[in-house]
């Protein structure tokens, strides 16, 4: 296997009977194909050792999970809604809309997470705790938690773009949302008989302090400077209390005091209560710099992170993503997320939203188009491989202006068309976007299938829909051959009601007109039938091979008591007959015709000649007669 950088890696495909789930992620469809062909090569080469097993290679295992499917569907709905926000509104009106859309996305993630957690709980209750399903479900839950955390932070920092005062408030909310256990503990403590004696009491108090409250942070009514002044007063007073040793009697109160002053060491002593470095960061900001400006965040973030995670060698991916967010480096966030997660869902939707907020500078990538489009295309291509979610992908392609259409054209033809109903839906998608080539190819597939099952009418209607003249000609030929063989038409209703579609191909027109002739004959409108029949031959609509049949059809008209063909018409008929027989009598005509067939042909011709002459005679007499 050679990947894009030219590195060759050996891949050992296990040949055991266990089902092994191998997780790959491919950058392009081409490399995936390369892998598949390699796989087939291996399988075919291993015929010596018993029957080889084909391993089903599945891209993007996530999209097959039923609960995650809801995520994809709901976010698709939100995505489409986002695209239709009008561009002409001024940006200050649009910001609340974007924030609410961001909240929608997050609530979808949360709903999914909760459902997964319930599945985990219920499976655990059913005493299957070592079931591998649990592990994968819990993994999913933690991934979704991380995603929601990152998204929330991005919403606070980028989309909502809170200014200095309310920034802290939002950050406090953010942290509080992800630290649910404080509330539980608090509830426990409060419900006990004497809360103050509870062993967790001081922990809870400290946690609640660190989580902050609306009083501690700048509110809406006061300006930043006012708040700053007030806060400094309060801070000095607390400091003075500490220096005065007024809390010296109670160790807990002293600790609390130190925390309220934002003493780093004390805070770090309670690492377990804080849990994460970003909680530490927010608490520290709360107590030391409540009026922090967005641009200053990253100093504190970096320092807090290093203080908190002292012994760890390298930060986890989540930590570096959050740090990049604090540094307002959107591209780094997206890049890190793309690498860390195995599904494009998150980065595609987030980037799209940020792009709508006009936060991404367009910079072109190797693959052409901008970052947003690239991610959306990757995500949608992944969706297209799913047997069911491909319909969602269509909308995503629609909103990728540069390459979306091309991708769609290539992918839509690969959708397997099991039933006519599905084919109709796919066709509707193509027709709405004027993809006439794809329409033609899909219709041809369906028509061929119908043809194979001898459903000529169906095949014809498909080729009419595709406006495929060549195929329509082919099918009309089959119809005519059927008629010659059986003497009746199949699918009469279809041919009768062709309407303007008849003009699609010459052969089809002939078929339609020929059927009309039969109808006229059936309705006993002989004169019109005769005229039609003649015009079919003289206007050269009828193929030469069919003339014999037409002339044979004319026989009953000629044999009628009443003269139907006029003299001129009879002359024309005779001319046609002569033309036909002269071509038939050429010595190069196929000699593999049996004697019987030749006899039949000759008899027919003779009968025709006789009938024509008799008709001519009667016609001349009739036309020469003067009406008295």
- Which ranges of 309-366 does DSSP label H, i.e. alpha helix? 317-326, 330-340, 345-356
State the Cα–Cα distance between residues 66 and 508, nearest whole angstrom. 49
Q: Rounded to whole angstroms, how far apart are CA atoms 399 and 79?
A: 10
Residue 285 near residue 171 (C-beta atoms within 8 A): yes
Any contact of residue 455 with other proteins (CB under 8 A)?
yes
Q: Is 428 in the site for other proteins (CB under 8 A)?
A: yes
Q: Of the two residues 16 and 419, which places its CB atom closer to other proteins in the complex?
A: 419
- Least Å distance between CB 51 and other proteins? 24
CB 70, min distance to other proteins, A: 4
Residue 456 in the binding site for other proteins (CB under 8 A): yes
User: With CB under 8 A, what is the number of residues at the site for other proteins?
Assistant: 41
Using only C-alpha atoms, what is the Rg of the chain? 41
Pick between residue 461 and residue 615 the one whose CB is nearest to other proteins. Answer: 461
SS3 state of residue 614: helix
Name the β-bridge partners of 8. Answer: 2
Q: How far is the CB of 490 from other proteins (least distance, A)?
A: 5
* Four-CA torsion 46, 50, 53, 54, nearest 10 degrees: 50
553 token code pair: 């059809």
Q: Is 81 in the site for other proteins (CB under 8 A)?
A: yes
Contacts of 137 (CB under 8 A, 6+ apart): 116, 119, 120, 123
| CB of residue 19 to other proteins, shortest distance in Å | 16
Structure tokens, 468: 């495929």
Per-residue string for binding with other proteins, 529-568, x by CB under 8 A? Answer: ----------------------------------------
Decide if residue 463 touches other proteins (CB under 8 A).
no
Q: How far is CA 414 from CA 56, 60, 278, 411, 443, in A?
A: 18, 18, 47, 5, 13
Binders in 479-518 for other proteins, by CB under 8 A:
490-491, 493-494, 496-497, 499, 501
Tell me: does residue 421 bind other proteins (CB under 8 A).
yes
Residue 191 or 488: the one with the smaller Cβ distance to other proteins is: 488
Tokens 């809309």, residue located: 97
Q: Is 162 in the site for other proteins (CB under 8 A)?
A: no
Per CB under 8 A, 48 contacts other proteins: no
Shortest distance, position 427 Cβ to other proteins, whole Å = 10
DSSP secondary structure letters along 418-442? -SHHHHHHHHHHHHHTT-HHHHHHH
Q: Which is nearer to other proteins, 253 or 424 (CB)?
A: 424
* Residue 250 engages other proteins in binding (rule: CB under 8 A): no
- In the complex, the smallest distance separating the C-beta of residue 504 from other proteins, rounded to whole angstroms, is 13
Q: How far is CA 472 from the centre of its chain?
A: 33
Query: Does 422 contact other proteins by CB under 8 A?
Result: yes
For binding to other proteins (CB under 8 A), which residues are involved?
Answer: 66-67, 69-70, 73-74, 76-77, 80-81, 118, 387-388, 391-392, 418-422, 424-425, 428, 432, 449, 452-458, 461, 490-491, 493-494, 496-497, 499, 501
């Amino acid at each position: 296997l050679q990947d894009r950088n030219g590195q060759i890696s050996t891949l050992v495909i296990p040949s055991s009977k266990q089902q092994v789930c191998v997780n790959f992620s491919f950058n392009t469809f081409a490399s995936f194909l390369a892998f598949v062909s390699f796989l087939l090569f291996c399988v075919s080469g291993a015929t010596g050792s018993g029957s080889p097993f084909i391993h089903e290679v599945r891209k993007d295992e996530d999209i097959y999970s039923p609960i995650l499917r809801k995520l994809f569907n709901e976010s698709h709905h939100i995505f489409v809604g986002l695209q239709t926000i009008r561009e002409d509104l001024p940006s200050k009106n649009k910001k609340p809309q974007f924030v609410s859309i961001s909240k929608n996305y997050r609530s979808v993630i949360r709903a999914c997470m909760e459902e997964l957690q319930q599945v985990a709980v219920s499976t655990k209750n059913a005493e299957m705790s070592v079931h591998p399903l649990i592990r994968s479900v819990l993994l999913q839950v933690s991934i979704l938690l991380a995603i929601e955390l990152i998204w929330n932070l991005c919403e606070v920092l980028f989309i909502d773009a809170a200014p200095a005062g309310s920034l802290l408030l939002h950050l406090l909310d953010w942290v509080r949302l992800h630290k649910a256990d404080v509330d539980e503990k608090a509830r426990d403590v409060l419900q006990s008989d004497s809360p103050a004696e509870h062993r967790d009491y001081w922990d809870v108090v400290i946690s609640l302090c660190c989580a902050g409250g609306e009083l501690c942070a700048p509110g809406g009514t006061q300006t930043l400077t006012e708040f700053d002044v007030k806060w400094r007063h309060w801070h000095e007073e607390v400091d003075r209390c500490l220096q005065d040793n007024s809390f010296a009697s109670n160790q807990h109160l002293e600790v609390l005091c130190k925390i309220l002053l934002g003493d780093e060491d004390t805070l770090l002593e309670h690492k377990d209560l804080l849990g994460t470095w970003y909680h530490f960061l927010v608490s520290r900001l709360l107590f030391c710099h409540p009026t922090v400006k967005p641009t200053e965040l990253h100093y504190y973030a970096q320092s807090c992170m290093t203080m908190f995670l002292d012994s760890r060698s390298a930060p986890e991916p989540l930590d570096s993503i959050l740090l990049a967010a604090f540094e307002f480096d959107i591209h780094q966030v997206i890049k890190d997320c793309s690498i860390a997660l195995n599904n494009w869902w998150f980065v595609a939707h987030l980037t799209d939203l940020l792009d709508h907020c006009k936060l991404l500078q367009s910079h072109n990538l190797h693959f052409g188009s901008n970052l947003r489009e690239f991610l959306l295309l990757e995500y949608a291509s992944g969706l297209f491989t799913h047997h069911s979610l491909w319909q969602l992908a269509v909308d995503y392609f629609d909103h990728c202006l540069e390459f979306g259409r091309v991708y769609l054209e290539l992918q839509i033809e690969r959708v397997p068309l099991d039933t006519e109903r599905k084919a109709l839906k796919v066709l509707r998608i193509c027709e709405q976007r004027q993809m006439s080539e794809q329409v033609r190819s899909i219709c041809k597939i369906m028509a061929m299938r119908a043809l194979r099952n001898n459903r000529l009418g169906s095949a014809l209607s498909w080729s009419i829909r595709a406006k495929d003249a060549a195929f329509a000609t082919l099918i009309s030929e089959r119809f005519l051959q059927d008629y010659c063989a059986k003497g009746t038409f199949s699918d009469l209703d279809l041919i009768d009601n062709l309407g303007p579609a008849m003009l699609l191909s010459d052969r089809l027109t002939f078929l339609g007109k020929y059927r009309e002739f039969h109808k006229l004959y059936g309705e006993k409108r002989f004169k019109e039938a005769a005229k039609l029949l003649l015009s079919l031959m003289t206007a050269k609509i009828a193929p030469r091979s069919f003339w014999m049949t037409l002339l044979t059809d004319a026989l009953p008209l000629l044999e009628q008591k009443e003269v139907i063909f006029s003299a001129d018409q009879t002359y024309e008929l005779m001319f046609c007959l002569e033309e036909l027989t002269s071509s038939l009598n050429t010595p190069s005509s196929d000699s593999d015709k049996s004697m019987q067939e030749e006899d039949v042909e000759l008899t027919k011709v003779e009968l025709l000649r006789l009938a024509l002459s008799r008709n001519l005679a009667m016609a001349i007499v009739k036309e020469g007669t003067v009406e008295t």
